[in-house]
Chains A and B, each alone.
Chain A
Amino acid sequence: SQQGEEDPQALSIQEGENATMNCSYKTSINNLQWYRQNSGRGLVHLILIRSNEREKHSGRLRVTLDTSKKSSSLLITASRAADTASYFCATDEGSGNTPLVFGKGTRLSVIA
């Protein structure tokens, strides 16, 4: 089952620019998480936003959540070449003890 869908599938920007990735989901959620994956590595948790939160910051990351539109965005400000990675959103399904459902990811390339 696929809950989150990221958009765009791929994004290429210059170093110093901001990168914005979007995630849409289908059912109600308790929280939404963003993960990062460097090529050939495991995923690393970046940030979690709860359904009663609208915006959250962590360093150069800014996450927004709009539950009425069932969407979230991840903004990376002042991007660096080291930000090059794939970014995935993950959602719970709002009830029970079921696993997170991951989207297909956005591949971000930051060109120095």
Chain B
Amino acid sequence: DGGITQSPKYLFRKEGQNVTLSCEQNLNHDAMYWYRQDPGQGLRLIYYSQIVNDFQKGDIAEGYSVSREKKESFPLTVTSAQKNPTAFYLCASSIQGPDTQYFGPGTRLTVL
């Protein structure tokens, strides 16, 4: 059953804590992406990776970090430096950069 998964579905964080959001795909895609979506808004690109062990900043990378040690996995860490982290986070993958993207179900992060 191919696809892209994100966990957890809901995540609560206290101020000052780092949290890591998981994203896994078994589609054999080279490229993976992290987006942030605020209520009623569009997608904003946080980070993307075109290939293992390489990644680039998107439009809103400050306060976030990523790693790409395996082709299947692209975890996102929301650090304490991110001042307003409460949002819906979406992970996606594609064969290559401009190709059709396949999205995970999302993680809703709330800072308490």
CB under 8 Å from chain B, chain A span 70-89: 88
A interface bracket (residues with beta carbon within 8 Å of B):
20 to 34
Instruction: Look across to chain A and name the residue whose beta carbon is closest to the beta carbon of B30.
Output: A97
Tell which of B31, B42, B108 touches A99, judged by Cβ atoms closer than 8 Å.
B31
Tell which of B90, B92, B97 touches A96, judged by Cβ atoms closer than 8 Å.
B97
The interface residues of chain B lying within 8 Å CB-to-CB of A40 are: 88, 106, 108
B1 CB to nearest chain A CB (Å): 16
Main SS of chain A's interface residues? loop
Given contacts A41-B106, A42-B90, A99-B48, are A30 and B43 in contact (CB under 8 A)?
A: no
The interface residues of chain A lying within 8 Å CB-to-CB of B90 are: 42-43
Contacts between chains A and B (CB distance < 8 A), count = 60
Are B98 and A100 within 8 A (Cβ)?
yes
B interface bracket (residues with beta carbon within 8 Å of A):
20 to 34
Instruction: Look across to chain B and name the residue whose beta carbon is closest to the beta carbon of A96.
Output: B97
Tell which of A1, A45, A93 touches B102, judged by Cβ atoms closer than 8 Å.
A45
The interface residues of chain B lying within 8 Å CB-to-CB of A98 are: 97-98
A93 to B97, alpha carbons, bound, how many Å? 10
A97 to B108, alpha carbons, bound, how many Å? 29
Are B97 and A99 within 8 A (Cβ)?
yes
A33 to B94, alpha carbons, bound, how many Å? 13
The interface residues of chain B lying within 8 Å CB-to-CB of A99 are: 31, 33, 45, 48, 58, 94, 97-98
In the complex, given contacts A41-B106, A42-B103, A99-B45, what are 5 additional A-B residue pairs having Cβ atoms less than 8 angstroms apart? A2-B42, A43-B101, A45-B102, A100-B98, A104-B42
User: 8 A–B contact pairs at CB < 8 A?
Assistant: A30-B98, A31-B98, A40-B108, A98-B97, A100-B97, A100-B101, A102-B42, A105-B42
